[in-house]
Amino acid sequence: MKALRNRKVVVVGGASGIGRAVVDAASEAGADIVISSRNTERLAAVAGSVPRVRSVALDMTDAWSVEAWAAQIDEIDHLVITASSAVHGPFAELKTDSLQTMFDAKFFGPYRTAQAVLDKFREGGSITFFSGVLSRRPGRNCSGLGAVNGAVESLTRGLALELGPGLRVNCVSPGMIRSEAYQGLEQETRETMYRETGQSLPLKRVGTVEEAAGAALYLMGNSFTTGMVLDVDGGHMIRQYAVA
């Protein structure tokens, strides 16, 4: 990834999970990195262990925090926003305040954050959002999550058209990834979920954070790619429906 050498990469959500994997990969590629999230302890730990990384705290759901964060960012080549939120539940029971919380974290937060530093991008830079497979292959009790993922993907295409040619905008759409996002589940429940989901896919396994991060690095490095939603899902979009 020579295209990232000495480039400034800002990773929001870079303290854990896929975001941390993006930080590790970008650092190995020679980028200078700013990592941001609400968890200042994790930020400090990553900044202290990965070369060429500094941290700036950020709560994307808070307008004042975004403004203060943007004031500490100088020139940017690439912005990657992996931080997100997921709320599941039947449509008949999912309250709008829960849905609003998810949209604040996964749509309005990234929207506000990218907008706040728009004038700091160097020519040829990029923004990479993250959505998820439920936007185009829905699942039961996931209509809200599918809706926010769809909104992120629509924003990606619209901004790619509006902000080009000086700025490219793309989106990574992961399937199920073995990551810290599921640490709240009991281990047995989590492993069962990974196993059963993996068996439903053509590749017969779930993904890794490194594989998802690799997609983000590709989108940063390929200067002829914009408006793309890149699926990293083990074949989720083409998986076979259950046969009775």
pLDDT (tens digit per residue) in 5-49: 999 999 999 899 999 999 999 999 999 999 999 999 999 999 999
pLDDT (tens digit per residue) in 119-167: 999 999 999 999 999 898 888 888 989 999 999 999 999 999 999 999 9
Q: What residues are paired with 125 via a beta bridge? A: 167
Q: How confident is the model at residue 1 (pLDDT cuts 50, 70, 90)?
A: low
Q: When comparing pLDDT for 153 and 183, which is higher?
A: 153
pTM: 0.94
Question: Which domains are delineated in the chain?
Answer: 2-177+208-234 (3.40.50.720)
Alpha carbon 125 to its chain's center: 17
Sheet holding 8-12, edge to edge: 53-55, 32-36, 8-12, 76-81, 121-130, 167-174, 229-232
Cα distance between residue 3 and residue 217, in whole Å: 10
Cα distance between residue 206 and residue 116, in whole Å: 35
Residue type at 25?
A
Number of C-beta neighbours around residue 121 at 10 A = 21
